[in-house]
Amino acid sequence: MPVSDELQALLDAFVARGIVGASLSVIGATETPLLLVAGLADRATGEPVTADRLFKIGSCTKTFVAATLMSLLQDGAVSLTTPVAEWFPDLPFADRIRVRQLVDHSAGLPEFEYVMPMDPGREWTPAQIVALAYTAGPPGEPDAICTYNNTGYVLAGMLIERLTGQSLAAAIRARVLAPLGLTDIFAPAGEDYPHGRLVRGYYHRPAPPPGAEARPVSEGGEMWQTGGTLTYSDDLQETTALFPMTGAYAAGDMVGTSADLARFLAGLVGGRLLSAGITSEMIDNRRPGTLSTPGTRLVASGAGVWSMRYAGHDLLGHQGSMPGYVTVMVAHRPSGIAVALTTNTGSGNRLSFYASGLHGLMDDVMARLLAPGPRPLEPPAR
């Protein structure tokens, strides 16, 4: 059976388990790229997912932001070892936090994501997000541990704007998207995008067991503050506009097609965006991470690129979540294969199938793509 048929069957089975819609793109496994879709972009209208539909990609945004910062490093505009006190003198430990630590999760910064109110109508500034983070708890020691953190990326986005004199969205477009020819990736916190192409997002918020309302995320507690906007329900609830994009900013505001995500990661890991030395600094200089949320495959953090493991293989990439959306993008450097999987169904319970079930699908996809032996040639992507 051609690999495209096998992958389509896997994607269809994944959607049949309750995922509303999904898109899967593969580069480097066959003569032509593969693009497979399943399910619905909008349950109310019955519109199917199509190749041009955009998904919120959450923290996969971080890889684009880090690549933009590395482009500035390549141009000599910044050093990764410079203390951030040069730009953020009032930040606690600013004289000890280095630029690189903002994007490799080792700056010891407090986390804003778990305390951010879900107010769809609010417009956030990056400085307000950083201030919110410091209401969540005190900072830790810089460079003591690598623990997943969104606040560092907000600061990295602010730094990029100061270095370039552009909005973060404009800098990403000029330094990453345009050089790779990517036209279906957008940063809505700083630029307009085709809203009509965004798939609707759907969220599972079941009632917790009695007495378990305040349990931590690591034990299945809720990741986001959705209580003021969503009721408990076993049914999926639409959350397309729940998390304001300005509240995500450099930590997770981008939207895109699975095809352009796969192209981006293939270009980055394949050395077609940055020099060999800068690419290695970004990808190969990694440290083991301590994750604050379960249900991930993130192992060790580079600058915006994590080592991840699927089907027994070491891969490079990132994953991302927004209320109602989950995305994974990975690349297998030895083979040149890159894969992106986008979905429009999620949950604040990181142990839920709706939040982490796509990892099982990615295991199956990578097992098929990296199986030994020849692969049959494929027809052009649908």
Token output for 253: 């505001």
346, 262 contact by CB (below 8 A)? no
Query: Strands, E, within the chain: which ranges?
Result: 21-27, 34-42, 47-48, 55-56, 185-186, 202-205, 233-238, 255-256, 287-288, 298-301, 306-310, 313-322, 325-332, 337-343, 345-347
Pairing of strands 21-27, 287-288: unpaired
Q: Using the 8-state DSSP alphabet, how is residue 202 labeled?
A: E
pLDDT for the residue numbered 114: 87
Query: DSSP 3-state assignment of 193?
Result: coil
Total domain count, the chain: 1
The answer to the question of residue 381 being in a domain is no
pLDDT, tens digit, for every residue of 248-264?
Answer: 999 999 999 999 999 99
Closest to 157 in 3D by CA, of 147, 167, 148: 167
The answer to the question of residue 215 being in a domain is no
The answer to the question of residue 62 being in a domain is yes
Sign for the pseudo-dihedral over CA of 278, 284, 290, 295: positive
pLDDT for the residue numbered 382: 40
The answer to the question of residue 325 being in a domain is yes
d(CA 254, CA 176): 13
Q: Which has the minimum average pLDDT: 33-37, 47-51, 178-182, 207-211?
A: 207-211
Q: Whole-number mean pLDDT of the chain?
A: 93
Q: How far is CA 195 from CA 29, 191, 296, 305, in A?
A: 32, 11, 29, 28
Query: DSSP 3-state assignment of 40?
Result: strand
**245: pLDDT confidence band, cut at 50, 70 and 90?**
very high
Q: What is the mean pLDDT of residues 127-138?
A: 96
Q: What is the pTM of this model?
A: 0.95
The answer to the question of residue 382 being in a domain is no
- Cβ atoms within 10 Å, residue 96: 15
Q: What is the mean pLDDT of residues 338-363?
A: 94
Closest to 104 in 3D by CA, of 162, 177, 156: 156
**223: pLDDT confidence band, cut at 50, 70 and 90?**
confident
pLDDT, tens digit, for every residue of 229-244?
Answer: 899 999 999 999 999 9
Q: Which has the minimum average pLDDT: 11-20, 24-33, 282-291?
A: 282-291
Q: Which has the minimum average pLDDT: 152-166, 194-208, 287-301?
A: 287-301
d(CA 201, CA 209): 25
Q: What is the mean pLDDT of residues 104-110?
A: 96
pLDDT: which is higher, 222 or 205: 205
pLDDT: which is higher, 208 or 337: 337
Closest to 379 in 3D by CA, of 38, 55, 13, 8: 8
Q: What is the mean pLDDT of residues 350-360?
A: 92
Inform me whether the pLDDT recorded for 377 exceeds 50: no
Token output for 121: 């109508």
pLDDT for the residue numbered 196: 96
Domain interval for residue 43? 3-210+220-369
Instruction: Look up residue 259 and give its amino acid.
Output: A
Q: What is the mean pLDDT of residues 320-334?
A: 97
125, 155 contact by CB (below 8 A)? no
Query: DSSP 3-state assignment of 288?
Result: strand
Q: What is the mean pLDDT of residues 301-320?
A: 96
Q: What is the mean pLDDT of residues 316-320?
A: 97
d(CA 196, CA 121): 19
Burial (CB count within 10 angstroms: exposed 0-12, middle 13-18, buried 19+), residue 46 = exposed
- CATH number of domain containing 291: 3.40.710.10
Q: What is the mean pLDDT of residues 37-52?
A: 98
pLDDT, tens digit, for every residue of 79-98?
Answer: 999 999 999 999 999 999 99
HSE-CB of 378 using CA atoms within 13 angstroms: 24
Q: What is the mean pLDDT of residues 55-74?
A: 98
